[in-house]
Amino acid sequence: MLKLENITKDYISGDSVVQALKGINIEFRKSEFVSILGQSGCGKTTLLNIIGGLDRYTKGDLIINGKSTKKFKDKDWDAYRNYSIGFVFQSYNLIPHQTVLSNVELALTISGVSKKERRKRAIKALEDVGLKEQINKKPNQLSGGQMQRVAIARALVNNPDIILADEPTGALDTKTSVQIMEILKEISKDKLIIMVTHNPDLAEKYSTRIVKILDGLITDDSKPFTDEDKKQEENKAKLGRTSMKFFTALRLSLNNLMTKKGRTILTSFAGSIGIIGIALILAISTGVQNYIDRVEEETL
């Protein structure tokens, strides 16, 4: 389903090159809960970003459902992220002026899903994480655990094959962390979940596989992918292209403008000054040029 072949990632830092990943070789099953452990700066998040198509590898190959990504264009990566990947971040990344329901619906807008279907699927995703009663609240009205549940619902609403979680419990207390891990464990029964974490205790308790990374290399894999697993895996590619409808984009733009009226008014005022200034300069220059032409004609 998902395979990394000799993946390396280099970053340019001044005159030197920093190698974040130094040849990662790993293959994942269609459904399992994988925890990636390692100290800060070892390359965990870089690896997660490459798997999610948020960052590009320097060398090697990322193979998705048997297809190489070496020749992927931007539209191919967009489709991959939209249809095959769901992201759960430590900082939630929710839009503060949108309701919980709108935040979850947003993941479906660029897929061309109708408004009725978006609402239906978003409500179902929120029900699955126990937030049906909170759909009309804003993110600032929720607790940290509830906001992380919204983020999980947003990741699930597109029914992706893979869920990528970057320190999903990093900003939560112990009790709430356990609740989030229980949700992720339930999801991993029919999806691939890859989680980066600094908490080995949670990883040991809830993960089905633990991968340890040190200095850009995999040093240990508790349950490596085998030939027997390969026989059981079925290739099932999700095809599609991102395509947000025009009226959906227009509605989202208007909603964004109306929820930040102060900024919109200031921007409009500043833009008006610029337009009026240009119009005045053009009017003056045209008048001066006409005056010069008239004087020349009278003199001649």
Q: Do 206 and 112 reside in the same domain of the chain?
A: yes
* pLDDT score, position 237: 45
Per-residue pLDDT, 239: 47
Statement to judge: residues 64 and 181 lie in one domain:
yes
- pLDDT at position 230, please? 76
The region of weakest confidence among 128-137, 141-150, 258-267 is 258-267
Same domain, 248 and 274: no
Across residues 93-110, what is the average pLDDT? 86
| pLDDT of 110 above 90 | no
**How much is the pLDDT for 19?**
92
Across the range 11-31, mean pLDDT stands at 91
Residues 270 and 174 in one domain: no
Residue 82, pLDDT score: 85
Element (H, E) at 135: none
* Mean pLDDT, rounded, of the chain: 87
Higher pLDDT, 257 or 132: 132
Q: Please, which residues have CB within 8 angstroms of residue 169's CB and are 6 or more apart in sequence?
A: 148, 176, 177, 180, 181, 197, 199, 202
Tell me the average pLDDT across 66-79: 91
Decide if pLDDT at 36 tops 90: yes
Query: What is the domain extent for residue 271?
Result: 261-299
Categorize the per-residue pLDDT at 245 as very low, low, confident or very high, splitting at 50, 70 and 90. Answer: low
d(CA 165, CA 35): 9
Same domain as 180, residue 92: yes
pLDDT at 17 over 80: yes
User: Dihedral sign, CA of 143, 148, 149, 154?
Assistant: positive
Q: Is the pLDDT assigned to residue 200 strictly greater than 80?
A: yes
Residue 186 has pLDDT above 70, yes or no: yes
8 A C-beta contact, residue 28 and residue 1:
yes
Q: Would you say residue 235 has pLDDT above 60?
A: no
Q: Are residues 38 and 131 in the same domain?
A: yes
Count of structural domains, the chain: 2
pLDDT band at 212, cuts 50/70/90?
very high
Q: What is the pLDDT of residue 46?
A: 94
pLDDT computed for residue 246 by the predictor: 62
Output the pTM of the full model. 0.76
Residues 187, 110 share a domain: yes
Residue type, 227: D
Q: What angle do CA 281, 286, 289 make, to 5 degrees?
A: 125
Task: Give the pLDDT score at 66.
Answer: 87
Cα distance between residue 244 and residue 105, in whole Å = 12
pLDDT score of 219: 95
User: Using 50, 70 and 90 to split pLDDT, how confident is the model at 6?
Assistant: very high
CATH number at residue 80: 3.40.50.300
Residues 244 and 279 in one domain: no
Give the residues across from 67 on adjacent strands: 64
Assign 168 to helix, strand or coil.
coil
